[in-house]
């Protein structure tokens, strides 16, 4: 084992009682809710994630448009789990899963840690898919992380600043044209909020430009907006968006993206009457736009491919892994996969699937620990789908109930407020909503050049960029030492639901930070 590789053996303390080792990968809805559901289990829970926060992804577009701060939708995972004494959080990106050895390897700034497990819950989520055109990401960021949202906030608000400083009408038009690719819930919500930002929030803030003249274009290759919601709700969304001034263009497939525009190939029958589509049906056209937002398509975490290769499970086109009806891997009943990574019964990639899947895995693990029957089939309870279009306007599909307008918007507010983690975050979110929806303001309009360009700069450095820590004054590597192992508490009885107070072993002396 190298100097920068560590083993988390999680071995029982001498004379102690062995506790089941549960490893959870991911701090999203699936991972966090699974860890919380194991609070009373006779187990030591380790949650490994590449970020130190739990992201409430459905509200990410509100960070990008200045309504909410990132802290309100991304509480620290350690804070969420601070009172759960059988849980610990490890920061690091999982790079390898070995099903035969029952180990997971994670990396953090050059340090490699090996974790051992008895049960594994993989809830690593999904990323943005550009359908094989990853080069589009530089000019059309997605909406999957805090970095994405902050970069987009800088780009969106920055376009108005650049337009204010320009004297060229063509340049101003290009800067004030915003293109959102993808007419699913994220794309609809994003287009609606950019329209409100331009037409309502910023309309009196500039002197040389009129923000109300900004053009917002919503593109999708599909023939419908919000196709999963049905024709009635999708039709309502189109009418509401058009009333806000959004140019909805359907049957429009993106073929190229560059710094100043986006190229599109229309379907055989044009779905828009805009000037951009004046060419022949099926022809190509270009929209001049500096600010583009990508909200189309998702790709499961690459860990799914590793699991498939080792277990023989299949993968679908989006990289989702085919799991057993109880969410386990074929031939590996100790490994559960939940959330956006699974392909099972056409389950949608929504938060409720991850939450219910995480809780199901936790229940199954508790049953196994307690000697009860495990392997029960996962049953998803569809609680409906919602999407906002603008303030006071949303659509909601709950079983046979289809709601639009103000009532759907109130339901959307209530549901999302409930699922925000932490009382203080709910209170501050409610206050920011009042400022933005009742008033005209946006509480989070601060942007920096670093937000906009840092990720692009890092990606261009390529292999030359490898974050490291400086060495200690005596020349030893700073990133050294032993990981403190999770050990069973020796003074506990199997029937006890809360672990007794005990200190974890101190790490070996080192200069690690």
- Residue 459 has a pLDDT of 82
- Residue 293 has a pLDDT of 97
- pLDDT-based confidence at 110, cuts 50/70/90? confident
pLDDT at 95 over 90: yes
- pLDDT-based confidence at 9, cuts 50/70/90? very low
d(CA 283, CA 301): 35
HEC per residue, 263-322: EEEECCCCCCCCHHHCCCCCCEEEEECCEEEECCCEEECCHHHHHHHHHCCCECCCCCEE
Q: Average pLDDT, whole number, for the chain?
A: 87
Higher-pLDDT residue of 451, 196: 196
The closest of 242, 259, 249, 179 to 220, measured between CA atoms, is 249
Half-sphere exposure for 158 (CA within 13 Å, toward CB): 17
- pLDDT-based confidence at 97, cuts 50/70/90? very high
**Residues with Cβ < 8 Å from 412, sequence gap 6 or more?**
386, 387, 388, 394, 396
The predicted-structure confidence for 240-292, as pLDDT tens digits, reads as follows 999 999 999 999 999 999 999 999 999 865 444 444 544 456 689 999 999 99
The closest of 9, 1, 6 to 118, measured between CA atoms, is 9
Contact between residue 115 and residue 48 where contact means Cβ atoms under 8 Å apart = yes
Instruction: Give the residue-averaged pLDDT of 156-177.
Output: 96
Flag the least confident range among 5-9, 57-61, 432-436: 5-9
HEC per residue, 224-265: CCCHHHCHHHHHHHHHHHHHHCEEEEECEEEEEEECCEEEEE
DSSP for 434-473, written as a single string: IIIIISS--S-----HHHHHHHHHHHHHGGG----PPPPT
189 flagged as catalytic: yes
* Phi, psi angle pair for 499, to nearest 5°: -65, 145
DSSP tag of 397: E
Tokens of 349: 């990639």
CA distances to 25, 52, 106, 144, 247 from 49, rounded to whole Å, are 6, 7, 9, 15, 39
- Residue 16 has a pLDDT of 58
Q: Kindly state the percentage of the chain with pLDDT values over 90.
A: 74
pLDDT at 512 over 70: no
d(CA 113, CA 199): 51
Active-site position among 70, 72, 151, 189: 189
Contact between residue 70 and residue 47 where contact means Cβ atoms under 8 Å apart = no
Contact between residue 252 and residue 271 where contact means Cβ atoms under 8 Å apart = yes
């Amino acid at each position: 084992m190298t100097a920068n590789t560590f083993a988390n053996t999680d071995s029982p303390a001498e004379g102690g009682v062995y506790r089941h080792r549960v490893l959870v990968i991911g701090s999203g809805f699936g991972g966090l809710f699974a860890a919380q559901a194991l609070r009373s289990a006779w187990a030591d829970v380790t949650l490994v994630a590449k970020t130190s926060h739990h992201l409430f992804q459905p509200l990410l577009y509100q960070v990008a448009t200045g309504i909410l701060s990132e802290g309100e939708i991304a509480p620290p995972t350690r804070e969420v789990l601070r009172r759960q004494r059988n849980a610990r959080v490890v920061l690091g990106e999982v790079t390898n899963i070995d099903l035969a050895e029952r180990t997971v390897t994670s990396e953090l700034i050059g340090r490699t840690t090996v974790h051992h497990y008895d049960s594994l819950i993989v809830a690593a989520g999904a990323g943005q898919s550009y359908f094989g055109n990853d080069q589009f990401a530089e000019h059309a960021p997605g909406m999957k992380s805090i970095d994405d949202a902050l970069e987009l906030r800088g780009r969106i608000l920055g376009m108005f600043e650049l337009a204010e400083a320009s004297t060229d009408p063509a340049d101003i038009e290009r800067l004030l044209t915003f293109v959102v690719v993808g007419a699913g819930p994220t794309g609809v919500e994003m287009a609606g909020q950019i329209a409100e930002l331009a037409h309502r929030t910023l309309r009196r803030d500039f002197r040389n430009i009129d923000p109300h003249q900004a053009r917002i274009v919503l593109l999708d290759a599909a023939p419908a907006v919000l196709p999963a919601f049905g024709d009635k709700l999708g039709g309502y969304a189109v009418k509401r968006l058009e009333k806000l001034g959004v140019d909805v263009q359907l049957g429009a497939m993106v073929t190229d993206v560059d710094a100043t525009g986006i190229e599109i190939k229309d379907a055989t029958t044009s779905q828009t009457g805009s000037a951009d589509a004046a060419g022949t049906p099926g022809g190509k056209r270009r929209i001049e736009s500096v600010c583009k937002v990508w909200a189309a398509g998702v790709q499961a975490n690459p860990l799914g491919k590793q699991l498939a290769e080792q277990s023989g499970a299949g993968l679908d086109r989006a990289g989702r892994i085919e799991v057993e009806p109880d969410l386990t891997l074929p031939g590996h009943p100790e490994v559960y996969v939940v959330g956006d990574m699974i392909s099972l019964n056409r389950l949608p990639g929504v938060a409720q699937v991850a939450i219910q899947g995480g809780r199901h895995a936790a229940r199954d693990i508790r049953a196994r620990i307690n000697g009860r029957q495990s392997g029960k089939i996962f049953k998803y309870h569809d609680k409906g789908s919602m999407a906002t279009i603008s303030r006071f306007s949303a659509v909601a599909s709950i079983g046979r109930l289809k709601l639009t307008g103000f009532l759907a918007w109130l339901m959307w507010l209530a549901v999302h407020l409930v699922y925000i983690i932490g009382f203080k975050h709910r209170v501050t979110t409610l206050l920011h909503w009042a400022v933005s929806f009742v008033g005209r303001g946006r509480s989070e309009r601060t942007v920096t050049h670093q937000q906009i360009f840092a990720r692009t700069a890092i990606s261009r450095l390529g292999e030359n960029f490898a974050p490291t820590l400086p060495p200690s004054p005596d020349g030893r590597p700073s990133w050294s030492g032993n990981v403190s192992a999770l050990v069973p508490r020796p003074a506990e009885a199997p029937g006890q639901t809360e672990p007794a107070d005990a200190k974890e072993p101190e790490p070996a002396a080192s200069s690690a930070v």
